[in-house]
Structure 1
Amino acid sequence: MLFHSSLRKELSRSFGATLVVLVTIVMTMMLIRTLGLASKGSVNPQEVFLVMAYTVLGYMPTILSLSLFIAIVGTLSRMYRDSEMVIWFSSGRGLADFVQPLFRFAWPVLILIAAMALVGWPWANSQTIGMRQQYEQRSDIERVTPGEFRESSGRLRVFFIDKDTPDGATATNVFIWAVERGLQITTSARSGRIEDIDNHRFLLLSNGQRLERPLFTESGLKISEFKTYGTRAGGSSNATGDSTPTRARSTLSLLRDRSDASLGELGWRFGMLLAAINFVLLALTVSSVNPRVGRSGNLVFALFAFVVYYNLLNLGQSWISSGRYGMGSFMLLLHGGVFLFATAWLTLRNNNWSAHRQTRASAATAGSPPPAAPPSRIDPTS
């Protein structure tokens, strides 16, 4: 009981500290990335922190797996360095005896990883993609800022206004540059206003001039003046449910679809849980260190193993999505192979430790002096 409780208590402290550090690092990286998207006009600046939160939530399966892996490796490496493992081994505990307390500690984390990979990951992606699409599909006039040139959603028109009213419905000194039907059209007006006609938003310009010039020829310049001119301001959306990326679709919809892209995404989601289970076994086998040597090399090797495994998981998703491999065969090859490798390595190390203990016991027995022979009885008649 002392063996299990002491190990789980130290694992809890190490896991909590590692999780906080990794979440802080990921949030900082995502904040920089989201601010870059906001500066390019891909994300609403008012929703930067919300997009960042959804993004970090989507990466939680990877963060939890890495935190669990580092916590186990760091705790067991510390126990090797401080000779605590020698004490447990001397008391009759083998390396295989650590499997049960490790999984008793890890099973809530494994359930959380499964929930985040199967439910949290697609939900967070759907929220992020929805906000970005809503911001991208806003009308062209809503993109305009007084005193700044702004491109339209299709990047075929450029708007400029001098001033606008507080309600944003009227503007003065309007300038529009557009490419339509092979013509370069420049329109300027003293004022403009927004009106909704037949469920479409139009910009009505007043007292202006329109200049049309062919793109590929020098002739054919046309100049016209108008008192009132209307142009489409955008705001329509042609997006359908079929265009939803697989990473933003629910697990149930992917199970019903069964296409290569859906199977690739399913392989990644279920693979995160299987990879987390294998990471527990791998952490137990790679955590052995020499107390006389620093543990940095051991941690570097463990981190390298995590990176290779995670990249193979992502590579397998692309292979399954392209139809090169089936989901079942790849998952059996990758996760089953890693499980057999970790189990064989753990069994070998556990048996080597048992054999080492038997050898020491035999050597101690062989080195002890033989028991003294009982004194022979002397016949007094001799």
Structure 2
Amino acid sequence: MIVFRYLSREVMLTLSAVSAVLLVIIMSGRFVKYLAQAASGALDPGVLFLIMGYRLPGFLQLILPLGLFLGILLAYGRLYLESEMTVLAATGMSQQRLLAYTMAPAAVVALVVAWLSLSLAPLGAQQFSQVLNQQDAMTEFDTLEPGRFQALRDESRVTYTETMSDDRINLGGVFISQKRLGQDAKDRGITLLLGEKGRQERRPDGSRYLILDNGYRYDGIPGQADYRAIQYQTYGVMLPKPEVSEEVTDRDAIPSSKLFSGESTDKAELQWRLSLPLLVFIVTLMAVPLARVNPRQGRFLKLLPAILLYMAYLTVLISARGAMEKGKLHSALGLWWVHGLFLIIGLGLMYWEPLRLKLASRRAAPEVAHG
């Protein structure tokens, strides 16, 4: 029991450290992407951390199996390097018992991954989709910041305001540059609107208008001198009405209980969610023999081949999922053949070295007897 606690502690500590590093790397990249969208006005800066929180379960369900795999390799590799595994082997610790001890923390990780993939990650993806739908329902004036030029998503209009009231209704020092995309050449060009002040108005039918006061409108084509200038006291600009869909179409956001249908895409998604906790046990089976190193070889000798093997496992699994979604792979075969293939590889790694040593000892025995 002391050995079991010691091994489990080493694996879990290394797992936590590796997973934390991987999580920081992945979330940092995603956060930079969302931060760029917020800077361009596509997202409200106030929802950035909310979005990252909703994406966290989806990140963890993929990070934890890899963290466990690397945790076993690094923890047991250190024990082999410091000859602690040699001492344990001398006291009767076989590879099978070591695997059995390692399956205990692996079972804990598998339960967490199952909870994430079947429940928490779809819920987070659903909330994430709802936040994006709410962002799509906002006009550029809902995310406009005073003193900054902001373009629409299609870059057809650039808006600027010097000041803005706290309720985001009244504006001061408004500048709008909008492209005209007419069929005729004379209908194309740029329209510039300058207003001393402006305000947003919402009509009973839900449409929004920007009302500008005391300003100028300029129409023309860049590179030509025939600009038309109009001075106005009041000018109204209709704001485009966003098209918002309340329906969540992302398959990652569908609850697991609703995936038991006849569609191949639903079955592929369900099998993918079930595959992640199953993957934990198979990568544990592969990691235990791959962690076995000679002290003279170094701790990281098998790390690169092990990572390549893990990447191959995940790549084949994702490819099979895509083939199943397209109907090229029958749901009865599904993703299970991938797990079966790498289960065989794991068993081969587990029993190949003892079998090789046993065969070598048998060949050496007649030579000793003959000598």
| Aligned with residue 248 of structure 1, among 246, 249, 253 | 253
What's the CA shift for 1:306?
1.7
Cα gap change, 1:153/1:92 in structure 2, threshold over 3 Å: closer, same or farther?
A: closer
Structure 2 gap ranges (5+): none
* Count of paired positions: 363
Which letter does structure 2 place at the counterpart of 1:66? Answer: L
3-state DSSP of counterpart to 2:335: helix
Q: CA RMSD in A?
A: 3.4
1:217-232 equivalences in 2 (<5 Å): 226-232=232-238
Give me the identity figure in percent. 23
Answering whether residue 199 of structure 2 is matched by residue 193 of structure 1, we say yes
Answering whether residue 208 of structure 2 is matched by residue 233 of structure 1, we say no
1:73-92 equivalences in 2 (<5 Å): 73-92=73-92
**Residue of structure 1 equivalent to 2:48:** 48
Which letter does structure 1 place at the counterpart of 2:237? Answer: T
3-state DSSP of counterpart to 2:301: helix
Structure 1 gap ranges (5+): 368-382
Q: Is the 8 A contact 2:321 2:335 kept in 1?
A: no
Cα gap change, 1:115/1:191 in structure 2, threshold over 3 Å: closer, same or farther?
A: same
Normalising by structure 1, we get a TM-score of 0.80
Bigger CA drift: 57-66 or 34-43? 34-43
**Residue of structure 1 equivalent to 2:38:** 38
Cα gap change, 1:168/1:76 in structure 2, threshold over 3 Å: closer, same or farther?
A: closer
Q: Is the 8 A contact 2:146 2:162 kept in 1?
A: yes
| Aligned with residue 328 of structure 2, among 324, 327, 341 | 324
Bigger CA drift: 109-118 or 142-151? 142-151
Bigger CA drift: 258-267 or 288-297? 258-267
Q: Is the 8 A contact 2:136 2:242 kept in 1?
A: no
3-state DSSP of counterpart to 2:321: helix
Measured in 1, the distance between the counterparts of 2:3 and 2:81 equals 18
Cα gap change, 1:72/1:138 in structure 2, threshold over 3 Å: closer, same or farther?
A: same
Measured in 2, the distance between the counterparts of 1:10 and 1:352 equals 29
What's the CA shift for 1:154?
4.5
What's the CA shift for 1:336?
0.9
Bigger CA drift: 228-237 or 284-293? 228-237
Cα gap change, 1:366/1:8 in structure 2, threshold over 3 Å: closer, same or farther?
A: farther
Measured in 2, the distance between the counterparts of 1:56 and 1:173 equals 41
Q: Is the 8 A contact 1:261 1:320 kept in 2?
A: yes
Which letter does structure 1 place at the counterpart of 2:212? Answer: L
Cα gap change, 1:166/1:3 in structure 2, threshold over 3 Å: closer, same or farther?
A: closer
Which letter does structure 2 place at the counterpart of 1:239? Answer: S
1:334-373 equivalences in 2 (<5 Å): 334-353=338-357
Measured in 2, the distance between the counterparts of 1:19 and 1:228 equals 59
Which deviations, in whole Å up to 9, do the C-alpha atoms of 1:208-253 show, x marking residues without a partner? 44455689xx9998765544332222453332415x2212222223
Which letter does structure 2 place at the counterpart of 1:129? Answer: S
3-state DSSP of counterpart to 1:293: coil
What's the CA shift for 1:276?
1.4
Q: Is the 8 A contact 1:96 1:350 kept in 2?
A: no
Q: Is the 8 A contact 2:197 2:213 kept in 1?
A: yes
Measured in 2, the distance between the counterparts of 1:21 and 1:147 equals 38
1:249-264 equivalences in 2 (<5 Å): 249-256=254-261, 258-264=262-268
Cα gap change, 1:53/1:166 in structure 2, threshold over 3 Å: closer, same or farther?
A: closer
**Residue of structure 2 equivalent to 1:282:** 286
Cα gap change, 1:354/1:142 in structure 2, threshold over 3 Å: closer, same or farther?
A: same
Measured in 2, the distance between the counterparts of 1:45 and 1:321 equals 35
Which deviations, in whole Å up to 9, do the C-alpha atoms of 1:286-321 show, x marking residues without a partner? 122112211211122222222222222223333222
**Residue of structure 2 equivalent to 1:17:** 17
Which letter does structure 1 place at the counterpart of 2:245? Answer: A
1:97-136 equivalences in 2 (<5 Å): 97-136=97-136
What's the CA shift for 1:117?
1.5
| Aligned with residue 293 of structure 1, among 292, 297, 317 | 297
Which letter does structure 1 place at the counterpart of 2:45? Answer: P
Normalising by structure 2, we get a TM-score of 0.83
